[in-house]
Amino acid sequence: MIQEVRVTVKDGIPDKKGEDVLYEINHALGIKNVEKVRTARVYRFEGIGKDDAAYLAEKLLAEDVFQFYRINGPVIEGAEVILEVAYKPGVMNPEAASLIKSAADLGISGLVAADSCWEYGFYGKEITGAEIERIVNSLLVNATVEYVVKNPPTTLIIHGTPGPTKIIPIREMSDEELIELSRDKLFLSLEEMKVIQNYFTGIQRDPTDCEIETIAQTWSEHCVHKTFKARLVVDGIEKKPLLKRLKDATEEISHPLVLSAFVDNSGVMEFYDGMAICGKVETHNSPSAIEPYGGAMTGSGGVFRDIVGTGQGAKVVASTDMFCFAPPHTPREHIPPGCLHPHYLLRRVVAGVRDYGNRMGIPTNNGSVHFHRDFRAKPSVIVGAYGILPAAGCRKGKPEAGDLVVALGGRTGRDGIHGATFSSGEMTDRTIEVNSSAVQIGHPIEEKRMFDAILAARDEGLIRAITDCGAGGFASAVGEMGSETGARIALDRAPLKYTGLSPWEILLSESQERMILAVAPEHVNRLFEICRGYNVEATVLGEFTGDHYFTATYEGRVVMNLDMEFLHNGLPQRLLKASWKRPCHAEPGEATTVNWSGLYSQVLSHLNVCSKEPIVRLYDHGVQGTNALPPFGGINGDGPNDAVILTPILGKPYGMIISHGLNPVLNTIDPYYGSLWAATEAASNAVACGANPNEMVLIDNFIWPFPDEELLGALDMAVDACVDFARATGMPFISGKDSLSSTYRGKDGTVIKIPPVLCISAFGRIPDVSRSVSTDFKETGSHIVLVGYRNPNEMAGSVYYEILGATGNNLPRINMRLLKKVLETVYGAINSGKLLACHDISEGGLAASLAEMCFGGDIGAAIRIPGDEKAENFFFNETAGCFLAEVPAVLNPAEIFGEVPYKVIGKTVPGRFITADQSGQPLFAVDLEELKEAWLKPMTEVFR
């Protein structure tokens, strides 16, 4: 018999979850008939009695101060509609294992299964059935992983019989049959399918489903980066592959601090006192598009595992998130079939990143959110992580023949299957239905325990090599680790979440919170002892063999036997053509500003400029106690800083600085200069806080529409920009990722391509965090200095132009000849203590940077606009690589900045106004309170 426990808040206590659902109903759906929503948590237990269930409710499930519970009865009463939403059978519920473990710890025996879900009660006399259906389908139930419970389950135990291993008769298939086999699941081209066909024809047998699936994930764009490794013919001239260009530039720079680049799960640079720091940034666009909460959670969890899987293991010290969405108030009729509304996507993606990082005790302290209507079909969800590890153990490990293959962490389920191949294909109106199993639900507490065990094992020298079970699961992790030796694993040894998984599903599952270790046999018992101490499951799956084959068995029968050479080097190199044609965008008409106060407020309230503080405050950015420069600072703690600085070695002054840059709009105008802008913004953000540009490294993330010839031409230009930036500044790229599938195709012929996104992340070291500055103005009477080269007439892609209803063509062109000197000069001024504050210029231009510095310092500013410049261009030009610096009144700016372009444009003043004059004539006086209200309003309305 199943015992049910329902828990809800007591009368008079706000139901926060219910309030959030009501907010979404009112704002995202526009439904006003629902007056109130109440929620309850429903727990089910199989194998125990009512008394034990009550004991669990009292001791574990309900907090008597503000909650009450009921056993086998309702707690929501009087509602017009009550419904229950649960994970589908087979979708991993992170709470289930914790419930079982907690019950055992409380001395309750006999519990065989547990589950949890949510119950919702809707109040309002005019609610219609159609409105409830909209609420369910749009907000409460993601059909990929959830369902409405019509009848309570009679058992919580999932029964199943594994399907047989199938033989795929690929040798006899026609071209049409090969294409059909690949569609929706494998995402391989006909040429690639024929290579596989020829391979098996040559060895005179047909593949098993395990083999064909393993080849597909290994050859997926997500895993092998086929486009970035392809031969590329650009306008008739063959150029080096994209990835080789980036690697060659890094090798040419030969930066003395780089310890590992492009060979491990993250890039590594030298830190201090024998330690190293590492960074990796990933995307989780496809899963987040169909299940934003789970997709974002597993994005964070996956990139955390990349850090822990670096060298012999690193500690994660920071998390970052960079998002691109359509505006949250996009009309519903503009959202194509099979896609979720951006208001819902934004809130749920943020919740996913919040819950994973917060629950693991990892600070999320650097990020940004960008908006453009062409993200309405597929968002870009970028997550990063950074870590610290001993420099002596930072090199990628290699297993030796005879080492054991050890699986560590969570159990294997059906969630996440086809994640690698699914993420490599375009999105369609069928994606949610066809690829629902590609979505996973993360379990951060499981991952936290696993990380602690791994770091303990690392410190005892027990790990030869390590990697995570990311895209492709065991197939990817073991296949890649054993590529030079060979490996043999027994799939029936893998711990499962439930019965019924076929061998190929066990092999390919991307269930989260799992790692693979290569461990010498003499160390395995000690490793297992450590794992037991941290309540982490560990299993020997097999061994690395030395025969150069990847072999898998199930119940003693061989279900896969692939030549490692073919698996990893049999993929044919693509030959791709690229050609980019410059688009012509509309130019704005002549505009004379009459209401400067209104224009200034309009710029600050633009979604790409406004404060993201309501999002940041959802993250615990201070956990681990390492924040030397937090995301927000100033007198009232609401002035945004440009980067984050951590002190990862407690008690030491050493700083780790993290920043990033991206601007999708500019790439739609010119992908070369738009990409230079992104790299410059990343570097400028760090330098503005006190980073030495000569002690920084870079990470690239390309998120592109499916690359046709023109978009491949744009990608070629973006990579060239990265290479040119690295060579000009001496900042090498040491890690990166590409995601080239952000195109939507509807059955009615609709095609939506995202603006090409290049996100550049930067991280580096600072010897003493006391030699850093924040953005907030510190005192009145200081000089306000504009530093750096810019052409004020280069306004295309700016927020100001968008307000005028145009994009333009003359975008900011970074002067690479001057940039390095500007960065070094600003760094030198900060390092020598000559600047009180510094803020780089980006979206919103000088106007936005100036306002944010005033907000943080609670100080006004008086600005003088040069007589030969158009006032609007002066304030709203968005050239990256420029800075606003606060210089004490007693210092001469010419002695600080004399060798680089600079202008003294005003001074800080008492009061709460920004004033401007030009040629001796007053232009405006804007109240800071008015500006701040406009700046705070957009995200406050979404994250109230």
Task: Name the residues annotated as catalytic.
Answer: 222, 284
Q: Is 306 annotated as a binding residue?
A: yes
739 labeled binding residue: yes
Residues 734 and 764: beta-carbon distance below 8 Å: no
**Half-sphere exposure of residue 691: CA atoms within 13 angstroms, side-chain side:** 31
Listed residue (203, 200, 230) closest to 215, CA to CA: 200
Contact 363, 622 (CB under 8 A): yes
Q: In Å, what is the CA distance from 466 to each residue of 217, 442, 737?
A: 20, 20, 20
According to the annotation, is 570 in a ligand binding site? Answer: no
Tokens of 845: 């231009």
Q: How many CB atoms lie within 10 A of CB 711?
A: 19
Radius of gyration of the chain (CA): 28
Tell me 866's DSSP state: -
Is the distance from CB of 75 to CB of 68 less than 8 angstroms? Answer: yes
Question: Is 510 labelled as part of a ligand binding site?
Answer: yes
Task: Give the H or E element holding residue 401.
Answer: none
Question: Identity (one letter) of the amino acid at 752?
Answer: I
Q: Which helix (H) or strand (E) holds 665?
A: helix 664-669
Q: Say how far apart CA 308 and CA 451 lie, in whole Å.
A: 7
**Residue 58 burial class via C-beta count within 10 angstroms: exposed 0-12, middle 13-18, buried 19 and up:** exposed
Q: For strands 860-865 and 902-909, give the pairing.
A: antiparallel
Q: Cα torsion for 531, 532, 537, 539, to the nearest 10°? A: 70
- Is 282 annotated for ligand binding? yes
Q: Tell me whether residue 468 is annotated as binding.
A: yes
DSSP-based three-state secondary structure for 24: helix
Note whether 921 and 588 are within 8 A (CB): no
Pairing of strands 883-887, 837-840: antiparallel
CA distance 119 to 42: 7
Q: Give the span between the Cα atoms of 666 and 675, in whole angstroms.
A: 8
929 a known binding residue?
no
Rounded CA gap, 793 and 878, in Å?
10
Of residues 286, 289, 264, the one with CA closest to residue 276: 264
Other CB atoms within 10 A of residue 584 CB:
9
904's tokens: 């003294």
Which residue has 């690949």 as its token pair?
182
Is 459 within any annotated ligand binding site?
no
In the sheet that holds 315-325, the strands lie side by side as 258-260, 267-270, 275-283, 380-390, 315-325, 364-371
d(CA 417, CA 439) in angstroms, rounded, equals: 8
In whole angstroms, give the CA distance from residue 131 to residue 296: 28
Cα separation, 590 vs 460, whole angstroms:
69
Contact predicate 870/796, CB 8 Å = no
Is 175 labelled a binding residue?
no
- Counted residue by residue, the chain has a size of 944
Query: 305: annotated binding-site residue?
Result: yes
| DSSP string computed for 249-303 | HHHHH--TTEEE-SSSSSEEEE-STTEEEEEEEEE-HHHHHHSHHHHHHHHHHHH
Structural tokens at position 409: 């962490």
Q: Residue 469, CB half-sphere, CA atoms under 13 Å: how many?
A: 31
Closest by CA position to 194, among listed 213, 178, 208, 211 = 178
Structure tokens at 366: 């650097």
Give the number of C-alpha atoms closer than 13 A to the C-alpha of residue 658, restricted to the C-beta side: 33
Q: Are 54 and 103 in contact (CB under 8 A)?
A: no
Round to whole Å and give the CA distance between 706 and 759: 17
Q: Which segments are annotated as binding site for ATP?
A: 280, 700, 736
Residue positions forming the annotated binding site for Mg(2+): 282, 306, 468
Can you say which residues are annotated as belonging to the binding site?
A: 280, 282, 305-306, 440, 468, 510-512, 700, 736, 739
Binding residues for substrate: 305, 440, 510-512, 739
